[in-house]
Amino acid sequence: MDPLGTACAVVLALSAIYRTVVHAPWLLTIGLWVTSISQLVSALVTTLDPPLMDLTGWANLSQIITYVLMVASSYIFARTTCEVADLNTRWALVITWVSIIGMCAVYLITNLSTTPSLVVETIPGPPSYVFSWLLAIGLLPTHIAAVIGAKRGVENRTLFWLFGIYGVVGALYPLLMVLDRVDMYTLRWPLEATYSIVWTIQLVSFTALSLAGVIGARRYLQSDAANVS
């Protein structure tokens, strides 16, 4: 089990548990749960992929599950931020479906589903190249919305600053992914060189997101109590 991936999953789960217990608005809570599960699956890739391949005949299946969940949660967070900042969410939905359908199609009809790999993006060839771009695109909505929302935030300044940190730092992950693959059909830099950087980016951004989830829930409770009194 990957320690940094597990840490990401735990941080997100703690925030999701708190919001579940206090009955905070459900959309952000679901997003936190989905992201936590995606990071847990990612941390267990080496454990899950072999038995899943024996069961289904598809290689790298747990990684695909991780990426689909990450893109789905990207839309959930984008929608949450857009609703608070009064932004349109249709653009995020379109990007999300293009990313998920595109990734699944590339995976199913190419060697990505038949060539076992610790990281599916490291499989040489055009399929993993296209897959990386589709994943990067799918992760953008949440970070774009978070940055825009943070810029527009006035009343919930702390909450939006945390969303802003999540948006800016988290956006480095898809950016790094694209830079690692641009004009190349394999990774530009050794996996060992980018591994700790990627997980550190994820941990910082998800910690900010988790704190935003807790603070948002506390403000919801305070507002609810004020309305009751």
CATH number at 29 reads 1.20.1070
Residue 60: band (very low, low, confident or very high) from pLDDT cuts 50, 70, 90:
very high
Whole-angstrom CA distances from 35 to 42, 52, 62, 174 are 10, 21, 14, 16
The CA distance from 115 to 44, in Å, is 18
Domain that residue 35 falls in: 3-228
Q: At which residue do the structure tokens 């506390």 appear?
A: 218
Whether the predicted pLDDT of 47 surpasses 80 = yes
- 173 vs 202, higher pLDDT: 202
Contact between 111 and 56 (Cβ < 8 Å): no
- 174 vs 190, higher pLDDT: 174
| pTM recorded for the entire structure | 0.85
What is the pLDDT at residue 188?
Answer: 57
Q: What is the pLDDT of residues 190-201, one digit of tens each?
A: 666 677 787 788
| High-pLDDT (> 70) share of the chain, % | 83
Instruction: Report which secondary-structure segment, H or E, holds 193.
Output: helix 191-228
Q: What are phi and psi of 44, to 5 degrees?
A: -105, 20
- 180 vs 69, higher pLDDT: 69
What is the pLDDT at residue 113?
Answer: 93
Highest mean pLDDT among 56-70, 170-184, 207-221: 56-70
Q: At which residue do the structure tokens 């300044």 appear?
A: 157
Number of domains in the chain: 1
Average pLDDT value for residue range 145-159: 64
The CA distance from 196 to 166, in Å, is 18
The CA distance from 116 to 87, in Å, is 41
What is the pLDDT at residue 200?
Answer: 84
Q: At which residue do the structure tokens 């217990």 appear?
A: 21
Task: Give the torsion sign (CA, 216, 138, 117, 66).
Answer: positive
Whether the predicted pLDDT of 53 surpasses 80 = yes
| High-pLDDT (> 90) share of the chain, % | 33
Rg (C-alpha) for the chain, rounded Å, is: 18
